[in-house]
């Protein structure tokens, strides 16, 4: 299944003292990526459900909530109730992954599974038919501004081979170190959704950067599909 390129700026790189302003600056984005960290699964502590609710009040852009927590089953409803449109959970943190995914979908949101850099794509093989998204971490989770892990390219190839073999093609999101320097190669390998934090919020014109990233990715996706 063909997907359009989507750019999902991460508010981890936004100015939290001026969140509404920064959301307005990226109003042309396709998704708003919200990293929820509990200080246990990662070494960082970030956003609670209140921030998700605040974003929901401040923008019409769909909210892509990435749950980096040790107890997703106990806390997911907080974020669903706050207005999450997509919820992704880490395979490494979910005891009953199928049940968690189905709960998200039954609640009316899209559901995805996240794989850390050292987690093989085979983990999602048996649940692929239920997924709206697979999120590949191209950095180790926890902090913004990290460098892209080069092994992600081969991992994307393996994931696409798995999708082709199964006949199921959820959206493929990549998170970590995405910029205009590498987005074309990532897109050519099958990704269609791109989390960009510092690349967008660190730009002089975040709106123009979003347009550039989307254009580069879309062009590479077309070229990849044509081969």
- The full set of domain ranges for the chain reads 6-226
| Look-up of token digits 């409803």 | 77
Q: Which of 22, 30, 175, 192 is catalytic?
A: 175
pLDDT at residue 34 is higher than 70: yes
**CB contact burial 160-170 (16+ within 10 A = b; e otherwise):** bebbeeeebbb
* Phi, psi at 212, each rounded to 5°: -65, -50
Q: Which of 22, 30, 35, 38 is catalytic?
A: 35
Q: Catalytic residue at 60?
A: no
Q: Catalytic residue at 164?
A: no
What tokens does 95 get? Answer: 């005891």
What tokens does 209 get? Answer: 């950067």
Residue 211 pLDDT grade (very low, low, confident, very high; cuts 50, 70, 90):
very high
What per-residue confidence (pLDDT) applies to 143? 73
Which positions ≥6 away from 212 have C-beta within 8 Å?
A: 180
What distance in Å separates the CA atoms of residue 56 and residue 82, rounded to the nearest whole number? 8
pLDDT at residue 26 is higher than 80: yes
Superfamily of chain region 6-226 = Aldolase class I (3.20.20.70)
What distance in Å separates the CA atoms of residue 150 and residue 158, rounded to the nearest whole number? 14
Give me the mean pLDDT over the 141-170 stretch. 91
- Beta-strand (E) ranges in 10-68? 32-37, 63-68
Q: How crowded is residue 20: how many other Cβ atoms within 10 Å of its Cβ? A: 12
Indicate the pTM of the whole model.
0.94
Looking only at the bridges linking them, the beta strands covering 110-115 and 63-68 are unpaired
Which has the minimum average pLDDT: 135-144, 155-164, 180-189?
A: 135-144
């Amino acid at each position: 299944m063909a997907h359009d390129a989507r750019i999902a700026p991460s508010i981890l790189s936004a100015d939290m003292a001026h969140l509404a302003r920064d959301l307005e600056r990226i109003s042309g984005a396709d998704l708003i990526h919200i990293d929820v960290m509990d200080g246990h699964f990662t070494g960082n502590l970030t956003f609670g459900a209140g921030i998700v609710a605040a974003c929901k009040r401040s923008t019409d852009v769909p909210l892509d909530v990435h749950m980096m927590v040790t107890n997703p089953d106990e806390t997911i409803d907080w974020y669903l109730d706050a207005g999450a449109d997509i919820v992704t959970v880490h395979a490494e943190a979910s005891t009953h992954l199928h049940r968690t995914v189905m709960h998200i979908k039954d609640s009316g949101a899209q559901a995805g599974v996240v794989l850390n850099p050292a987690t093989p794509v085979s983990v999602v093989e048996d649940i692929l038919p239920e997924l709206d998204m697979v999120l590949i971490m191209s950095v180790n989770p926890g902090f913004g501004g990290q460098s892209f892990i080069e092994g992600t390219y081969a991992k994307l190839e393996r994931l696409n081979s798995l999708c082709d073999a199964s006949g199921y093609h959820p959206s493929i999101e990549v998170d970590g170190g995405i910029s205009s320097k590498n987005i074309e190669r990532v897109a050519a390998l099958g990704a269609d959704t791109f989390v960009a934090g510092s690349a967008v919020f660190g730009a002089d014109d975040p709106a123009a950067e979003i347009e550039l990233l989307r254009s580069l990715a879309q062009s590479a996706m077309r070229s990849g599909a044509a081969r």
